[in-house]
Structure 1
Amino acid sequence: MKSLALVVLLLLMMTPVVRAAADVVPLPADKQGFGTARSAASPVWFTLGHQGLSEIFFPDLSTPATRETRLLVDGKPGQAYTEPADDRSLTFRQRLRGDGWQAEITYVTDPQRAAVLADVALTARRPVRITVDHVPMKGASEVVSTLPTEPVRHARGTFAVGFGDGVGQAALDRGFRVVAREYARGWHAYLDGLRRPKSADPKLYDMSVMVLAATEDKTNPGASIASPSFPWAFGFDRELAPELGPYALVWPRDLYHVSTAMIAAGDRAFAGRALDFMLQRQQQPDGHLPQNTKVDGTPFWKSVQLDETAAPLLLAWQLDRRDKSTVDAMRKAADYLLSYPNAPFSEQERWENQSGYSPATIASVVAGLVCFADLLQRNGEDAGKYLKAADEWQSEVESWTATSTGPYAPKPYYLRLTKDGNPDAATKYNLGDNNPADIDQRAVVDPSFLELVRLGVKRADDPVIRNTVEVVDQQLKEQGYWHRFTQDGYGETKDGGPWNVPNPVRTYGRLWPLLTGERGEYELLIDQKASAAKRLREIAATANNGRMLPEQVWGGRGTTSATPLAWTHAQYVRLAWSLDAGRPVERPDVVANRY
C-alpha cells in the first residue's frame, strides 16, 4: 500500500473572508451529509455532495469558504454513495466508484482546530493517477499544495482542508484515527445527555438532533441557520442573492421551531441561547425582529413578518423566562405588535412573499401576546392591554380570513390570506414565483391555518377548522404530503430545472415534509394517534442515504431543495415527542385554556 498524503492549506491567517464572486457557483443544495465537531475550537463545517466535499463553512455558518474538494482518479470524479459511518456522530462515509476503480472516504473535522480531514482508501484494476480538485470561493483562500501521484493500484492516506497557516498540517500530524475518535466522543457525550422518544426511528432521531445542534454558529451562540445549502437561484443568481443567501442565515421563525424541538429533546440550553440571540442580537430598536439576519445579528432581508416578532414571546413562555432584561425586550416586541399599522395585517406571512391577513400569522401573534401576558401576570404586572388585543384578534380571525363564497365548499373555510380582511370579496393578487396570472384570494388555501389549532387559538373540533382540513386535503394533499398553498411556484420546473425569478418557464412548488409533521400534531388533538404515527413515518421516508431531511420532495424523493432543512428535522423531533406524550408538546396551555 502506497501512502496518499494530501494537504490543501487555505492561507487565510488574519485576513477577512471575502464572500463568493459571480463566477463561483455553489453545488446542488441536496446535501448528503453535514458535519462539524462539537467543540467551539473548531469553527468549520463541511457538507457532502454527490461527488465529494461540497461547501465548507468558515469562520462562521453564514460564510461558505470553499465550493468543493473532490478526489479525482485519472482526472475524473466518481459518483458517491453517502452514509453515516457512526450512528451517533456526524461522521460520514462516501463510497465512490469510477471507471475501474473504487474508493472509500470518511470525513470528520478536527475538534481542536479549523480543519476538515478525509481518510481515503482506494483500489483500482489498473494503475491510476490520484489528484485532489479543490475550488475555493474566489478571494476566500489560496491552494498551496495539491497532489498528483505516480500511478498506483492501491492507496491509503488522509488529506486535510485547513484554515490558517499550518492548520491542515497540524491536523494531519495528529493522525486521522486520533482525530476521528475525539470527534466521535464529542457527539456521543452530547447524545448521552439527552433523551430519546419511543416513537421515533432511533438512528434518524439521533441524526436529526445532531443536525439541529450543528446548525448553531460557534462564534455567535444561539444563531442557528436554516440550512447549510444554496438551492437554485440562491446559488447562481448574484442579483437575487449577492452573498449566497438566504438559507445560511438565521430566521426567527425557523429558530423558534428548532428551539422547541430542542426543548423536547432535553437541550433547553440551546433554546435559551436562541432566545437571547433573538432579543439581544436580532431585535431592532423599535421592537420587531427582521425577516432574517446573518449569524452576527446583522439584518439581511428586512421585511416585517409579525409571526417572527411573536416568536420570542412564545419561546420565552416555553422557557419560563421572566427576568427583567428579557421581559423588557419582550415588552418592546409586544408593543410593536399592538402598534403595527392595521395589525394583525402583516407585510409578509410565513411563506414570505405576500402581505395580508393570514390565519397562521394571526395565530402566532395572538398566542404570543397571551404567553407574554401570562409571564407579566406571574411577575405581578398588569397585562390587560395585551390580552385585550389578543382576544379581539382571536374573535375576528374567522371574519378576516374564512370565506363563505369560495369555489371549494359552501361552508366557510380558511384562506391562505386575504389582502383586505374581506374573505368573501373576489380580490385578486399575483402569487409570484413565476405564476403567470392573478388569482382570486378565495381560491388559495394553505395548510398553515392549523397554526390556529397547534398554538391553542382555536379548538381542533371547530367546524371551520374541520371544513378547511377537507378543502386543503382535496386541493393540496398528495401521497401523504402537502403543498404549501394553491399554485405554489417555489420549486423546480417540470423537468427538474432550478427555480429562478423572473423566469419565463413555469416552476412548481413540490411537497413539504414539515407540513406532514404539522398535520400529525393536529391529528393528536382529534384523537387520531395512529394517523399521527403514520405522519412520522412519512417524514422519515423522505430522508436520503445520509439521513438528511429535505425541504421538498417529489416522486417520493427529496428534490434539489434545501437539504438538510433544520425546520424539517425539528418537526420530526417534535412530532416524535408529541406522539410519546399523546399531545403536541409545543402547544402553550395558557392559550388553549383561554380559548
Structure 2
Amino acid sequence: MRRSRWLVLLACVVAILAFAMPASAQTAPGAPGIDSAWTSGAKDGLGTSTTTGSKVWYTLGGGILNEVYYPQADTPDVQDLQYMVSDGSTFTDEEKVATSHEVRLADSRSLTYQQVNTATNGRYRITKTYVTDPARATVLIRTRFQVLTGGPLNLYVLYNPSLGNSGMGDTGATSDGKLVASDGGVADALASSIGFSAMTNGYSGTASDGFQDLTAHHALTNTYDSADSAGNLVQTAQVPVGTDTTFTLALGFGGSRADAASTAGASLAQGWDAVAGSYQSGWHDYLGSVNPPPASVADPALTQQYLTAVMTIKAHEDKTYRGAFVASLSVPWGNAQNGDSCCVAGYHAVWARDLYQMATAEIAIGDSAAANRALDYLFTVQWRSDGSYPQNTRLDGTPVFGSLQMDEVSFPIILAWQLGRTDPASYGKIKASAEFISHHGPSTPEERWEEAGGYSPSTIAAEIAALVCAADLANADNDPGAADFYLRTADSWQSQVDNWVYTTSGSLAGHGYYERIDDNGNPNDGHQVGIANGGGSWDERDVVDAGFLELARLGVKAPGDQHITDSVAVVDQTIRVTTPEGDVWYRYNHDGYGETQAGAPFTGQGVGRLWPVLTGERGEYAVATGHQDAAQGYLVTMGGSANAGGLVPEQVWDRQGANGFTFGKATGSAAPLAWAQAQFVRLAVSITAGHDIETPSVVAHRYVGG
C-alpha cells in the first residue's frame, strides 16, 4: 500500500515538473524555415584588425551587428545578431525595433565602434563596443546591460548566421556552453564571458525559432539541442544578468565547429582589455605610419572624418588576396535581397575602377605599399592575356557581372605610371592593355555607370590618359615604336573626342554640351538611349552626367576649356540638388538606380538618388580651376553626407525628408562606398596641395601645358 502511494506521488511530481519546465527536444523541427535575406546596405560602423592573420570583418547598422565577413572580404557569414529583452510575463522587446540608437567611435584613432541603444519605454539601456581579435578570427562585443526602471529583466542573444554566402545552408547545435553552427567549410561559435543560462537552435519563422518563442511567451519555453537539417538557422541564448551587468560576447570562426569554439574561447580567455588594447594599438600604429591629416581638415569634425575615411579604406583590403580592396562591405538594399544570391547583389567584389580610386587615395596619404599591392593584384589576378580586365570579380578572379568597361582596362596603366612601375614584368602587362585599348577603343561595351555602351566622355578620358602613360612607360622600357603608336592614337582621340560626344543640337541649353554617352559617335543624330532599371528611353542628347570632368581631372583637356565650362552649367541646372549639407549631383537624369518613388528598396526599378562622390569630383575640378574656397565647401558637403559613424554613402536622399529618409543623408544602397571615402581623402589632400594630386603630369603636359 505504501509503495503504491509512493508511485502515485512520484508520477504527480514528474507531471508537475514536465508542465513547469521548458520542453526539450534533440532536434529542432521546422526545417528549412522561411527564406533568408541580408540586411540594409546602410552600415554606420565597420571594423577589422590591421593584422593579416585575423581574417574577420564586422559591420553595424540599425543599432545591431549585421553582416560579418570571414575568411575573406567577399564572404558574408551573418545576417544579424542582436539582443531581446523581456520581463518574463508581459513584454518582449527586439533591440533594433524597441530602442533609440546612437553610434560613435569609442576610440577616435581606431575602428572601435560603440552602439548605445536606449529603450523607448525607458526601462533599459544596452551599450555595445566592438573589436576583432588581432590574433584570431573573433568578433568581440563588450556589452553593458542596465535596467533603468522596472526590473528585473531578462536578456537574450538572438543570432542568425548565414555561413558561406548562404542563408539557407546552416546547421547548428549547443556544445559545451556555446552555440555552434556550420555550412560546408565555414563554422562559427558564439560564447559569453559569463556563460549562458539557456540555449536553443531553430529555424527562422517556425515554432522552433527562439524569436517566435520569446515573442509569444516572453520566455524560452521550447529549447532544442540541435538543428541538424540545413536551413535558415536561428540560435538563441539567455545571458544571466542583473540590474547592471557587463560581459563580453565572442563570435569566433573556423573551418570546423571545434576550431570556431576554440577560437572564441581563446579570445575570451585573453580578456577584453588585452584584445581591445591590441586591436586599437594596431590602428594607432597604422595612422602613425601615414601622412598626418592635411590642413584642409583642420576643423576637428573634418579631422575625424578624414581619419575615419583613411581607416575605412584600409579595412576594405582583403587579408588573403592582398591588394584586393572590395567596393563595399555591404549588400545594397540587402534586406530585400535573397540570402542565397548575395554575390550578384553585393558590393563585396573588386572593380578595377573602384580599386584605382582607393589606390590613388593610398598614394595621397603616403601608403604607396598598399597602392602597389593593389596594382599587383590587378596584374596577377584580374589581368587577362589579351590585356583586358573583367567588369568585376570575386577575390579569386571569378567574374561576377561579366561585361567589360574600357576605363577599367585603362586605370591600371595610369596607376602603374603613378607608381613608377617600369620593371619588365609590369611593362609586359601594361603593353598588352595599351594594345587592347588602341585596337578596341574608344567605344566601350559599358561606361562607368555600367548600364550603356558607346562613346563616353569619362571612358575616353581614361583611355587617352592611359595611352599617354603607357607611352611614357614604353620609353622607359626601351620600346619607342610602341610609345609612338600609343601617342599617335591618344592624340587622334583627343582631337576627336568633342566630335564624338559633344552635342550642338541638344535641348538642355542654347549652346553645346557633353552627353552622358553616344551610341555611334554622332552626338547630333538624336538616337535613343535606353536607361537601365526602368528609366525609359530618351534622346541621347538629353541625358547628361558629369563624367566629362574626367577630361580635366586626367589632364586630357584644360579645366577652363569652353566646352567643359558650358557643360558644367548644363549639369548644374539638370542634375544638381542643393541638400541641407550642400550641392550633390545625380549620376545622370532619368536614372533608375535607387529606392522606388515610395521609398521601398531597389529590386530592379527605382529612382536614382544623389551621389556624394560626385561632389568630391566637383571639388577636384574646383581645385583645378583655382577655386579653393569652393573646393573646401565641397569637402565639407561630403563630410556632411556621412552618417553618425563617419561613413560616406553611395547615395543620399534627394528631397525633403520622406519615407523614413533624411534629406542629404544615406539611403539603403551602400554605406560606406569605399570609392567615396577615397574621394574625400584625395580631395582633402589636393586642396592643401593646391592642385589635383591624381592628375598624371605626363598627360597634362602634353595637352594642357605646364
Q: Is the 8 A contact 1:103 1:121 kept in 2?
A: yes
SS in 2 for 1:568: helix
Trace 1:24-103 onto structure 2 (pairs within 5 A): 24-74=36-86, 75-78=92-95, 79=99, 80-98=101-119, 99=121, 100-103=123-126
Distance 1:219 1:72, change over 3 A: same
TM-score by length of 2: 0.79
Question: 1:477 and 2:573 equivalent?
Answer: no
Match of residue 175 from structure 1: 271
Per-residue deviation, 1:292? 0.3
Out of 363, 372, 378, the position equivalent to 2:461 is 363
SS in 2 for 1:328: helix
SS in 2 for 1:553: coil
Question: 1:373 and 2:471 equivalent?
Answer: yes
Out of 435, 439, 442, the position equivalent to 2:541 is 442
SS in 1 for 2:284: helix
SS in 1 for 2:156: strand
Distance 1:246 1:369, change over 3 A: farther
Q: Structure 1 unaligned runs (5+)?
A: 1-19
Q: Is the 8 A contact 1:309 1:333 kept in 2?
A: yes
Out of 478, 485, 495, the position equivalent to 1:385 is 485
Q: Give the partner amino acid of 1:142.
A: G
CA shift digits 1:139-181 (9 cap, x unpaired) = 3563632531456322110001001321111111111111000
CA shift digits 1:341-364 (9 cap, x unpaired) = xx2110000000100100000000
CA shift digits 1:173-219 (9 cap, x unpaired) = 11111100000000000000111211122111111010000000000
CA shift digits 1:108-136 (9 cap, x unpaired) = 00000000000011111211111111101
CA shift digits 1:302-321 (9 cap, x unpaired) = 21100000011000011000
Per-residue deviation, 1:51? 2.9
Q: Distance in 2 between matches of 1:410 and 1:443?
A: 13
Distance 1:143 1:521, change over 3 A: farther
Question: 1:345 and 2:366 equivalent?
Answer: no
SS in 1 for 2:243: strand
Question: 1:163 and 2:188 equivalent?
Answer: no
Number of residue pairs matched by the alignment: 568
Q: Is the 8 A contact 2:128 2:142 kept in 1?
A: yes
CA shift digits 1:442-472 (9 cap, x unpaired) = 0000011100000000111111101100001
Out of 519, 524, 532, the position equivalent to 2:618 is 519
Q: Distance in 1 between matches of 2:53 and 2:59?
A: 19
Q: Is the 8 A contact 1:22 1:238 kept in 2?
A: no
Match of residue 575 from structure 1: 683
Out of 139, 152, 161, the position equivalent to 2:242 is 152
Per-residue deviation, 1:392? 0.8
Question: 1:559 and 2:559 equivalent?
Answer: no
Distance 1:573 1:151, change over 3 A: closer
Per-residue deviation, 1:379? 2.6
Q: Distance in 1 between matches of 2:287 and 2:686?
A: 20
Distance 1:475 1:142, change over 3 A: same
Distance 1:87 1:140, change over 3 A: farther
Per-residue deviation, 1:233? 6.4
Q: Give the partner amino acid of 1:52.
A: I
Per-residue deviation, 1:242? 5.1
Q: Distance in 1 between matches of 2:273 and 2:134?
A: 13
More moved, 206-215 vs 491-500: 491-500
Match of residue 312 from structure 1: 412
SS in 1 for 2:125: strand
Per-residue deviation, 1:378? 2.3
Match of residue 296 from structure 1: 396
Distance 1:418 1:233, change over 3 A: farther
Question: 1:221 and 2:244 equivalent?
Answer: no
Q: Distance in 2 between matches of 1:481 and 1:279?
A: 35
Per-residue deviation, 1:429? 2.0
Distance 1:583 1:102, change over 3 A: same
Match of residue 427 from structure 2: 327
Out of 590, 596, 613, the position equivalent to 1:487 is 590
Q: Is the 8 A contact 1:51 1:77 kept in 2?
A: no
Match of residue 230 from structure 1: 331
Q: Distance in 2 between matches of 1:238 and 1:117?
A: 24
SS in 2 for 1:27: coil
Q: Give the partner amino acid of 1:561.
A: S
SS in 1 for 2:68: strand
CA shift digits 1:202-254 (9 cap, x unpaired) = 11111101000000000000000000111126951579x55354400000000
Q: Is the 8 A contact 2:357 2:679 kept in 1?
A: yes
Q: Is the 8 A contact 2:35 2:338 kept in 1?
A: no
Match of residue 211 from structure 1: 312
Q: Is the 8 A contact 1:417 1:441 kept in 2?
A: yes
Q: Is the 8 A contact 1:282 1:290 kept in 2?
A: yes
Match of residue 21 from structure 2: none
Q: What is the aligned-residue identity percentage? A: 41
Distance 1:57 1:583, change over 3 A: same
Q: Distance in 2 between matches of 1:150 and 1:325?
A: 61
Distance 1:22 1:572, change over 3 A: farther
Distance 1:446 1:22, change over 3 A: farther
Q: Is the 8 A contact 2:584 2:611 kept in 1?
A: yes
Out of 354, 367, 383, the position equivalent to 1:283 is 383
Trace 1:383-422 onto structure 2 (pairs within 5 A): 383-422=483-522
Q: Give the partner amino acid of 1:148.
A: Q
Q: Distance in 2 between matches of 1:530 and 1:349?
A: 31
SS in 1 for 2:634: helix
Question: 1:105 and 2:128 equivalent?
Answer: yes
Distance 1:122 1:244, change over 3 A: farther
Question: 1:467 and 2:566 equivalent?
Answer: yes
Q: Give the partner amino acid of 1:499.
A: F
Per-residue deviation, 1:72? 1.7
Match of residue 584 from structure 1: 692
Out of 350, 373, 389, the position equivalent to 1:273 is 373
Per-residue deviation, 1:336? 1.0
Q: Give the partner amino acid of 2:475.
A: Q
Match of residue 119 from structure 1: 142
More moved, 152-161 vs 477-486: 152-161
Q: Is the 8 A contact 2:38 2:339 kept in 1?
A: no
Q: Distance in 2 between matches of 1:255 and 1:21?
A: 38
Distance 1:244 1:431, change over 3 A: closer
CA shift digits 1:533-588 (9 cap, x unpaired) = 10000000011111111001111211111101100000000000000111110000
Distance 1:581 1:548, change over 3 A: same
CA shift digits 1:274-294 (9 cap, x unpaired) = 001111100112210000011
Larger-gyration structure (1/2) = 2
SS in 2 for 1:395: helix
Q: Distance in 2 between matches of 1:316 and 1:140?
A: 43
Q: Give the partner amino acid of 2:489.
A: A
Distance 1:27 1:294, change over 3 A: same
